[in-house]
Amino acid sequence: MAGQVIVTKNRNVPLDKIRNIGIIAHIDAGKTTTTERILYYTGKSYKIGDIDEGTTQMDWMPQEKERGITITAAATTTFWKGLRINIIDTPGHVDFTAEVERSLRVLDGGVTVLDAEEGVQSQSETVWHQADKYNVPRICFINKMDKLGADFHRTVGMIKSRLGANPAIMTLPIGKEHSFTGVIDLLTQKSLIWGSDELGAEYDIKDEIPDDMKQDVTEYRHKLIEQICEQDDSLLEKYLEGKEPTLAELKKVLRKATIAYKLVPIYCGTSLRNKGVQPLLDAIVDYLPSPLDVPSIRGVNPKTKAGEIRKNNADDPFSGLAFKVQLDPHVGKLTYIRVYSGKLSSGSYTYNPAHGNQERIGRILLMHANQREDVNEAYAGEIVAIVGFKDTGTGDTVCDQAHPILLEQISFPEPVISLAIEPKTKIDQEKMGMALQRLTEEDPTFKVKSNPETGQTIIWGMGELHLDVLVDRMKREFKVAANVGAPQVAYKETIKAKAQGEGKYIRQTGGRGQYGHCLLRVEPKNRGEGFEFEDAIKGAAIPNEFIPSVEKGVKEALDKGVLAGYILTDIKVTLYDGSYHDVDSSDIAFKIAGSMALQSAVKQAGLILLEPIMKVEVTTPDEFMGTIIGDLSSKRAQILGTEKRGTVTIIIAMVPLSELSGYATTIRSLSQGRSSYYMEPSHYEEVPKNITEKIVAAKV
């Protein structure tokens, strides 16, 4: 299947007939199921994929099929009512947050899928705010209306209160839970009923509205029209005069308001039961932006540093952003590109301003999950995969060399957990290096470091599941057999006060000696601000050519840590004085002096350990609430509050990651398997003194 070639319909459609959208949501809200229905109803696939049976097209990796989760963002292209829709189905699990981050960076619109019973969950909030960061217009699909406890109006209330959005209810559900049969389109006042066709491709459109819903329909329709008219002065004037705007006028203004993120259209249905997906498709076409509706991309000229703009058309010079690297067993390295302006041709060259080199475009592929179609050209507004790029990585700009531009990079969160990995045999050792290099190219939140003292290789990631999947991929894709240690928490070191330190490195060995001498000042920075180096040398106390060597020595010392061997962070280092020798001074001497000075300074600056704190949400029946809160309190948790949701209670807490090892098993045994939890990284906080002493003692 992986090698299968596909053919799409005419892809040379005008830009206003293209939609680049992402399906985003909390884990288990039904993103992949919704995407599978979209592919079936648009004629892209001839049968509906099922997650439980492992037959989905978008979840194509063996690990995805086995675990029933999305791990990698899959791209596909389909057509609806003459429009071309490029869809990216993103993961819901927080461990794969990089996939969501990079997808949102290149998308024009998003569909947020929510669970009608659970409402707005934690990860829904996280991805919503990620979309806010990139100003992505959204529509909401309240899924699982057939689920026990489904509550459409409560979920809409949560969209308002938790996400701060302005929801515009477009459809009302007919029935709920097992009696959910369809929706009422408020603009046309028609009932859409599913049931005659089991697969949901056919549905009945009726003019009559159920008697028990007539009052609700009148009330909500009146409110919707009011919301739309408020977005346009001429429409509001007409409405206040008692004239109802036409359907075309209402749709036009609603489209404008959705793109400006002033309104968020709300739809409902049940993807698994094949109801309500077609109105969502119509909404994607009617209200989400085309590449022409989003502002032209801005960047800077790498040579002049002046701001530049590229218009979304094929006539402007080529510019694009590489947002994902994927290893394909059949064609090698694939680099996914969002083309913002101009066009690309296979066989031509493109320029990477970050590395200052040219890259040859071997092939251009249109992707459908892990199937592909060769095309000769890619145009502005398209998302394609390139074969042939060697050095271009995630977040790199590619452009026309004659008209260089550097687009804003994609920022990714820091990894919070690590584990030691070692190859089982000498053959595995050679293969492991290559496998790790390939995987770090693919995943910006996966880091690899080797410990020269122990000879161990340490891999870092966003969570236990993340590292588990990567080790599994090494075994399957690269045939590397490895022994894996227990997951370790990614502690960090920092300082609490200002201090100064001196580093003097003098060696006489008969011939030419070594001489390096510097004085540094260290001061703490705010949490999360990282490292800053300032050169404050006056009067050439240290020649300019040796200053980068001091900085290099400082960085190496920061990486090794001073207190317990963890990375030193959130620190400003100022080089303010020193001395040199005309003959004996060298780069290596100043590098060692820089490292010595930093260690001397931080030892006097109140060294402390920082640990990652996780935001944890436990969903539990009321009878286990006291037990679970008691257990969390024993784990140094700070309980932020509880929230009632139907028959269950949500406990929200901040808990140190080091206390959460094996928590999935703990929570099952505390609640007879009836509670579940979700966690995501929140921030770093100081480790209590008694625990710091234990960690330091264990490291010595």
Q: What is the pLDDT of residues 601-634, one digit of tens each?
A: 999 999 999 999 988 888 888 889 999 999 999 9
| pLDDT at residue 368, as a whole number | 63
The residue type of 576 is Y
Q: What mean pLDDT do residues 161-174 have?
A: 92
Of 22-36, 63-77, 383-397, 488-502, least confident by mean pLDDT is 63-77
**Structural Rg of the chain based on CA atoms:** 28
Taking phi over 0 as left and psi of -120 to 50 as alpha, with beta for the rest, 422 belongs to beta
Structure tokens at 614: 């996780």
Residues flagged as binding site for GTP: 25-32, 89-93, 143-146
- pLDDT at position 627 is 93
| Cα angle: 348, vertex 351, 356; to 5 degrees | 145
Among the listed residues 263, 97, 76, the one whose alpha carbon sits nearest the alpha carbon of residue 165? 263
Torsion angles phi and psi, residue 177, rounded to 5: 55, -135
Provide the mean pLDDT of the chain.
Answer: 84
Residue 455 pLDDT level (bands cut at 50, 70, 90): low
Known binding-site residue numbers: 25-32, 89-93, 143-146
Residue 452: predicted pLDDT: 60
Going from the C-alpha of 62 to that of each of 71, 196, 461, the distances in angstroms are 10, 35, 20
Over residues 201-230, the pLDDT tens digits come to 788 888 888 888 999 999 999 999 999 999
DSSP state of 197: S
- At 145, the amino acid letter reads M
Q: Which of 36-45, 61-70, 412-421, 690-699 has the highest mean pLDDT?
A: 690-699
AA identity, residue 134: Y
C-alpha dihedral sign at 143, 149, 151, 154: negative
The count of C-alpha atoms lying within 13 angstroms of the C-alpha of 522, restricted to the half-sphere facing its C-beta, is 31
Range with lowest mean pLDDT among 74-83, 279-288, 431-440, 453-462 = 453-462
Q: Which of 79, 74, 87, 89 is nearest to 41 (CA)?
A: 79
Report the distance separating Cα 551 and Cα 539, nearest Å.
19
Residue 458: CA count within 13 A, CB half-sphere:
17
> Distances in Å between the alpha carbon of 222 and those of 208, 228, 497?
18, 10, 61
CB 146 within 8 A of CB 152: no
Contacts 24+ apart (CB under 8 A), 213-222: 213/172, 213/174, 213/184, 216/172, 217/172, 217/184, 217/186, 217/189, 220/169, 220/172, 220/186, 221/186, 221/187, 221/189
What is the per-residue pLDDT across 404-419, written as a single tens digit (0 to 9) for each? Answer: 898 887 777 777 787 8
- Assign 547 a pLDDT band (cuts: 50, 70, 90): very high
Cα 332 to Cα 268, 441, 676, distances in angstroms: 41, 13, 39
Query: Which of 383, 350, 379 shows the shortest CA–CA distance to 366?
Result: 383
> What are 73-97's pLDDT values in tens digits?
457 778 888 888 888 767 655 556 6
Question: In the block, which residue shows the tokens 């109140």?
Answer: 606
Provide the β-strand partners of residue 517: 504, 579
Find residue 419's DSSP bridge partners: 459
Distance of CA 475 to the CA centre of its chain: 25
C-alpha to C-alpha distance for 362 and 355, rounded to whole angstroms: 19
Instruction: Write down the pLDDT at residue 302.
Output: 85
CA distance 102 to 111: 16
- 383, 78 in Cβ contact below 8 A? no
Band (326; pLDDT cuts 50, 70, 90): confident
The angle, 0 to 180 degrees and rounded to 10, between the axes of the packed helices 122-133 and 97-106 is 30
Instruction: Check residue 218 and give its pLDDT.
Output: 93
pLDDT on residue 4: 30
Give the least confident one: 5-19, 56-70, 333-347: 56-70
CA dist 623 → 117, 619, 649, 671 (Å): 20, 12, 10, 9
Q: Look at residues 394, 410, 407, 411 and name the one whose alpha carbon lies nearest to residue 322.
A: 394
* pLDDT single digits (tens) 295-316: 888 888 888 888 888 888 888 8
Which residues have CB under 8 Å from 615's CB, separation 6+?
Answer: 122, 652, 653, 654, 679, 680, 681, 682
Our measurement of the distance from residue 549's CA atom to the centroid of its chain's CA atoms, rounded to an integer in Å, reads: 36
Domain boundaries, the chain: 16-287, 297-407, 417-489, 493-605, 610-699
Is the pLDDT assigned to residue 552 strictly greater than 50? yes
| Contact in structure between 380 and 314 (CB atoms under 8 Å) | yes
Check residue 8 and give its pLDDT.
41
Pairwise CA distance, residues 262 & 645, whole Å: 28
What tokens appear for 176 in the block?
């709920």
pLDDT of residue 700: 64
pLDDT of residue 539: 81
Better-predicted residue by pLDDT, 152 or 372: 152
Lowest mean pLDDT across 185-194, 380-389, 682-691: 380-389
Range from 327-341, 385-399, 593-607 carrying the lowest mean pLDDT: 327-341
Per the CB < 8 A criterion, the answer to whether 404 and 351 are in contact is yes
CATH fold for domain 610-699 = Alpha-Beta Plaits (3.30.70)
Distance CA 461, CA 416 (A): 6
The residue type of 402 is A
CATH of 297-407 given 2.40.30.10, 3.40.50.2030, 3.40.50.720, 3.30.750.24: 2.40.30.10
Q: Which two tokens stand for residue 694?
A: 């234990």
Cα(666)–Cα(661) distance, rounded to whole angstroms? 9
CB 99 within 8 A of CB 72: yes
Cβ atoms of 27 and 293 closer than 8 Å: no
Residues β-bridged to residue 679 = 616
pLDDT digit string, tens, across residues 251-270: 999 999 999 999 999 999 99
What is the pLDDT, as a whole number, of residue 99? 65
- Distance (Å) of CA 146 to CA 48, 178, 181, 211: 19, 5, 9, 21
Q: In terms of CATH, what superfamily is 417-489?
A: Elongation Factor G (Translational Gtpase), domain 3 (3.30.70.870)
Fold of 493-605: Ribosomal Protein S5; domain 2 (3.30.230)
The percentage of the chain sitting over the pLDDT mark of 70, rounded to a whole number, equals 90
For the chain, how many residues are written? 700
Whether 610-699 and 417-489 are alike in CATH topology: the answer is yes
- Asked whether the predicted pLDDT for residue 372 surpasses 60, the reply is yes
Rounded CA-CA distance 259/136 in Å is: 8
**Strand, helix or coil at 400?**
coil
Both structure tokens of 636: 């140094």
Structure tokens at 414: 């820091």
Question: Per CATH, which fold does 16-287 belong to?
Answer: Rossmann fold (3.40.50)
